[in-house]
Amino acid sequence: MSEITSIQSPARRQTQTSIGEPITRTDGVLKVTGTATYAADNHPANLLHAVMAVSTIAAGRVTHLDVDATKAHPGVVDVMTPDHRPELAKDPDERDDPFMFRLDLLQNDRVRYPGQPIAVVIAETLEAATEGAALLAPQYEAETPRIGLNAGEAFVPDGVGPGEPAEAGVGDIEAGLARATRRIDAVYETAPQYHNPMEPHAIVAAWNGDRLTLDTPSQAMAIARGRVAGLFGIDAENVHIRSPFLGGAFGCKGMILSPQALGIMAARMTGRPVKLVVRREQMFGPLGHRAPTRQTLALGLDDEAHLTGLSHHVRTASSVFDDFFEPAAGVSHTLYASPAIHTAHDAVRLNTGTPLFMRAPGEATGSLALESAIDEAAAACDMDPLAFRLANYAEVEPISGKHFSSKRLRDCYAQAAERFGWAKRSRAPRSMRDDNGLLVGWGVGTATFPVVMFQGHARAVIRADGSGLVETGAHDMGQGAWTALAQIGADSLGLELGHTTFRAGSSDLPDAGVAGGSGHTATAGNAIHNAGRDAIDKLAELAINDQASLLFGAERRDIVARGGRLVLSDSEARSDSYRDILGRAGLAEIEGRGTGSPDQTAQERFAMHAHGAVFAEVKVDPDLGQIRVTRLVGAFAAGRVINPRMVESQFFGGMIWGISFALHEQATIDRRSGRVMNADLAEYHIPVNADVPSIEAISVPEQDRHINALGVKGVGEIGITGTGGAIANAIWHATGVRPRRFPIGIDDIL
């Protein structure tokens, strides 16, 4: 079995710093040559294959499984069912941590949602396990499932998202709306969506006594380790997770969920390594999704087109057995100035798998509705939608009253508008056509995403040969962590990128925190930055106290690290190389440690968000209603840019998710059975290249001294916010029909 945790950063031309360089991915060649090992590429000796059987009903009980028929099938080794499974140290229905969701580990015969695992067949080959699972022929006692946002009485959850209040506000919303001279009332609906990374969840689990080795894609190895340790009653130190490469994640690989835990149970039960790979249709059940929302907005406006009140109410859903509530109204706390704001969430419980964090949870869903409603307000005031947004620009965060740590949203609007050619837009809907007679529409949406940081750690080493090593258990979902973090590492050690080895993707390295909330570079990057600084401090200490050094007696603050040397900042002539300093001290290496974590004081003082503006052009066939996005231009201000190439590609990815949200993605639920009717990538539509037009993403330079030492905000998710709204608003401009249901289809506009 290969284990890639270490990537030698590419050699490159001599420059002062590697931060800010648009270098290509350090893991790119491994990926395009098929050398990168994803979890399912591991084949330890003596491997068994496990296949889940999943429920075809949404609610009820499993009354019979034909285990005998399955066991009689050649190659089948064992069948895990509620009657025959390893004991667990922790009840899968116990939840005492916001990041440890309730699991379905065959604890009983209950079925709570369609696609729930009800048995696991373990066999010598994948084929035998697959056939064995089919032979189980489950029988059920079905109950009527709870389906859709009108199922049962709604309730107010204790909190939404990861620990935000369900209700919030500022000012008197009733009075604010009452004094409006114009009012917009609108209801927007978004469909359930499933993450569907290209790489489905997979695990290769191998026990050695009480030690466990796991190959599984993870966005948060330390959390995963803790979850596994708790379930199986072993020390977290005994769980080694290898997760060097992920084929996408989007939030659904943030935790160990039921299929991975079942793979570990199967290995425990059989005493052999087990591989369990989730099939595409099985991704639409136990692995999280974005819940549907129904969002009711009320906007009051005075005669100067200023908001007098903004009310944003969200109805969403969780599963019948666990809590995750899409925090969709949160964007209304941030984006527009209003003396009165009120946001609230309520929810129903449905027979679905538990919803989860998915691609800007809350911000993506909420900004679709808010940006549409703001556009409706602009139209009601007969104003240009960009001018309307500028008229209601939030100088401070409206709901908290805090100043922004930085906010270059005006520049985003200006630069993207200029690039797009917004000034040439004609105001009235249905007023623009192209040469082929297609209706042309232009729309704008505002993007926003909070600055999130977790706690992460890193180790940085300078070796006697003058080279560097940087280690942190970071996760590369495809976003470029191998590259951007290596750049920060080289910089922090004052070394060329080619003289630095970067190790990541394994739980035996320092915990890098979570690759989520768009906060991985901020978290792991600042940990690396601090670790490098710590190593340089120690090295400087050696030189300052070494009579043989040209830096003897110098002040630490006058010394900078660059090109493998410590240099006195006011005298290039006084310097000393890392190699010489360590050599004279007789040391093989010197080690620094660092932590990256949110600055509580700054967080109390400032509102911290990235911002952006997205402009969209659509063309609509006036006869057929066919909608095409033909152009997207976004400009984003998200703090310091570590690697412009990676950042641009993150913006592109986010904007493509936005196209997807506006026009493509939805799980269609059968009203009788509760099952997802399009549980495959042929019918669960995502944008293909033909759906993705010319996209441009502009990085607006932004310095932020408050958020963290590196000044990094986060770029992973902001692109999905703003884009969907811009497309919806462009469709209105093209057609005169206001879409209020997402994804927008032909039937919504004809």
Binding site for ligand MOS (CB under 6 A): 219, 249-251, 254, 357-359, 361, 516-517
Q: State the number of CA atoms in the 13 A half-sphere of 500 facing the CB.
A: 31
The distance of closest approach from Cβ of residue 219 to ligand MOS in the complex, given in angstroms and rounded to an integer, is 6
- All residues at 6 or more sequence positions from 693 whose CB lies less than 8 Å from its CB, including other chains: 617, 628, 629, 630, 631, 632
d(CA 647, CA 229) in angstroms, rounded, equals: 36
The distance of closest approach from Cβ of residue 191 to ligand MOS in the complex, given in angstroms and rounded to an integer, is 17
- By beta-carbon proximity to ligand MOS, the closer residue of 362 and 398 is 362
The distance of closest approach from Cβ of residue 547 to ligand MOS in the complex, given in angstroms and rounded to an integer, is 53
- By beta-carbon proximity to ligand MOS, the closer residue of 407 and 475 is 475
The distance of closest approach from Cβ of residue 194 to ligand MOS in the complex, given in angstroms and rounded to an integer, is 13
- By beta-carbon proximity to ligand MOS, the closer residue of 653 and 739 is 653
d(CA 428, CA 736) in angstroms, rounded, equals: 8
CB burial of residue 596 (10 Å; 0-12, 13-18, 19+): buried
d(CA 177, CA 78) in angstroms, rounded, equals: 64
d(CA 62, CA 258) in angstroms, rounded, equals: 18
- By beta-carbon proximity to ligand MOS, the closer residue of 77 and 515 is 515
**Residue 477 β-bridge partners:** none
The encoded tokens of residue 454 equal 């977790």
d(CA 46, CA 44) in angstroms, rounded, equals: 6
The encoded tokens of residue 76 equal 């089948």
Q: How does 144-173 read in b/e, with b if 16+ C-beta sit within 10 Å?
A: ebbbebebeebeebeebbeebbbebbbbeb
663: DSSP letter:
I
- By beta-carbon proximity to ligand MOS, the closer residue of 250 and 482 is 250
d(CA 161, CA 148) in angstroms, rounded, equals: 20
**For residue 296, how many other CB atoms are within 10 A of its CB?**
17
CB burial of residue 74 (10 Å; 0-12, 13-18, 19+): exposed
The distance of closest approach from Cβ of residue 8 to ligand MOS in the complex, given in angstroms and rounded to an integer, is 28
The distance of closest approach from Cβ of residue 665 to ligand MOS in the complex, given in angstroms and rounded to an integer, is 14
- By beta-carbon proximity to ligand MOS, the closer residue of 194 and 420 is 194
- By beta-carbon proximity to ligand MOS, the closer residue of 361 and 725 is 361
d(CA 194, CA 249) in angstroms, rounded, equals: 11
**Residue 62 β-bridge partners:** 140
The distance of closest approach from Cβ of residue 516 to ligand MOS in the complex, given in angstroms and rounded to an integer, is 3
What percentage of the chain's residues is helix, strand, coil (to nearest 5)? 30, 25, 45
Q: Where are the alpha helices (DSSP H) in 507-624?
A: 520-544, 578-585, 600-605
**For residue 646, how many other CB atoms are within 10 A of its CB?**
23
The distance of closest approach from Cβ of residue 89 to ligand MOS in the complex, given in angstroms and rounded to an integer, is 28
- By beta-carbon proximity to ligand MOS, the closer residue of 217 and 441 is 217
H/E element holding 733?
A: helix 723-735
The distance of closest approach from Cβ of residue 514 to ligand MOS in the complex, given in angstroms and rounded to an integer, is 8
- All residues at 6 or more sequence positions from 181 whose CB lies less than 8 Å from its CB, including other chains: 301, 302, 303
The distance of closest approach from Cβ of residue 252 to ligand MOS in the complex, given in angstroms and rounded to an integer, is 8
- By beta-carbon proximity to ligand MOS, the closer residue of 309 and 327 is 327
H/E element holding 379?
A: helix 363-380
The distance of closest approach from Cβ of residue 249 to ligand MOS in the complex, given in angstroms and rounded to an integer, is 6
Asked if residues 489 and 6 have their Cβ atoms less than 8 Å apart, the reply is no
The distance of closest approach from Cβ of residue 457 to ligand MOS in the complex, given in angstroms and rounded to an integer, is 20
d(CA 614, CA 674) in angstroms, rounded, equals: 36
- By beta-carbon proximity to ligand MOS, the closer residue of 195 and 349 is 195
The distance of closest approach from Cβ of residue 520 to ligand MOS in the complex, given in angstroms and rounded to an integer, is 9
- By beta-carbon proximity to ligand MOS, the closer residue of 145 and 653 is 653
The distance of closest approach from Cβ of residue 746 to ligand MOS in the complex, given in angstroms and rounded to an integer, is 30
- By beta-carbon proximity to ligand MOS, the closer residue of 361 and 489 is 361
Radius of gyration of the chain (CA): 27
88: DSSP letter:
-
The distance of closest approach from Cβ of residue 382 to ligand MOS in the complex, given in angstroms and rounded to an integer, is 38
d(CA 459, CA 13) in angstroms, rounded, equals: 26
The distance of closest approach from Cβ of residue 117 to ligand MOS in the complex, given in angstroms and rounded to an integer, is 23
- By beta-carbon proximity to ligand MOS, the closer residue of 566 and 656 is 656
Helices then strands, counting H and E runs in the chain, come out as: 16, 30
- By beta-carbon proximity to ligand MOS, the closer residue of 21 and 717 is 717
The encoded tokens of residue 476 equal 């590369």
d(CA 737, CA 741) in angstroms, rounded, equals: 12
- By beta-carbon proximity to ligand MOS, the closer residue of 311 and 365 is 365
Per the rule left: phi > 0, alpha: psi between -120 and 50, beta: everything else, 115 is left
The distance of closest approach from Cβ of residue 365 to ligand MOS in the complex, given in angstroms and rounded to an integer, is 12
The encoded tokens of residue 30 equal 């491994």
The gap between the terminal CA atoms of the chain, to the nearest Å, is 56
- By beta-carbon proximity to ligand MOS, the closer residue of 358 and 432 is 358
Asked if residues 415 and 422 have their Cβ atoms less than 8 Å apart, the reply is no
Nearest to ligand MOS by Cβ — which residue?
251
**For residue 464, how many other CB atoms are within 10 A of its CB?**
16
d(CA 66, CA 528) in angstroms, rounded, equals: 54
Q: Sign of torsion, CA 539 544 550 556? A: positive
**For residue 502, how many other CB atoms are within 10 A of its CB?**
28
The distance of closest approach from Cβ of residue 103 to ligand MOS in the complex, given in angstroms and rounded to an integer, is 19
- By beta-carbon proximity to ligand MOS, the closer residue of 187 and 191 is 191
- By beta-carbon proximity to ligand MOS, the closer residue of 516 and 634 is 516
